Structure 1
Amino acid sequence: MTDAQKNAFLWVDHEGNPVSCVEKVQILRENDAELRQALQDAFDDGVLMGVAPQAMLQTFQAMLSDLKSPLQGGAQEKES
């Protein structure tokens, strides 16, 4: 994702409306940048230590799947 794409990304609220508060968007962008860098560093370390890139990606995907929402108890709403 390019810098332009990251800046154009819309964070949405629970109703699907764009988050428009400048301070909130700035914090979300900073968090995004920090997480991307941490993930890239961990990915690079793993691959340089001999872990298959696909295995690293699967590990990251498993971590994301385990995230819990502080509001709903899960990162994703279950479809009925």
Structure 2
Amino acid sequence: MSLAPPETWPGADGNPISCREKVKVLAENHVELAQVMRDAFEDAVLMGVDEAALRRLLTSMVEALPSPKRKPGA
């Protein structure tokens, strides 16, 4: 896995996002998130957390994110 932003961002309709401003925001968010994750991962592993367990934990955190498209309580 690369920590660089993807070249294209898939839209909900299957086509790539083409709006330059959206792509710019997505790329900036990706860079920021990658840095935070890298720092947190490094800190945890250096403090003795099992690397494989941490990867599972981070994956479960992403999977638990609620969709902003769903109505609360739905």
TM-score band, normalised by shorter chain: 0.7 to 0.9
Structure 2, unaligned stretches of length 5 or more?
A: none
1:66 aligned residue? 64
Calculate percent identity across the aligned residue pairs.
41
Matches of 2:65 and 2:16 in 1, distance apart? 22
Aligned length: 70
Runs of 4+ in 1 over 6 A off after TM superposition: none
Structure 1, unaligned stretches of length 5 or more?
A: 74-80
Matches of 1:63 and 1:2 in 2, distance apart? 18
Question: In the TM superposition, what are the counterparts of 1:38-53 in structure 2 within 5 Å?
Answer: 38-53=36-51
Among residues 20, 25, 28, which one is paired with 1:27 in the alignment? Answer: 25
Deviation at 1:58, TM superposition (A): 0.9
Deviation at 1:72, TM superposition (A): 3.2
Secondary structure in 2 aligned to 1:11?
coil
Higher relative contact order (CA 8 A, sep 6+): 2
Q: Is the 8 A contact 2:45 2:51 kept in 1?
A: yes
Give the CA RMSD over aligned residues. Answer: 1.6
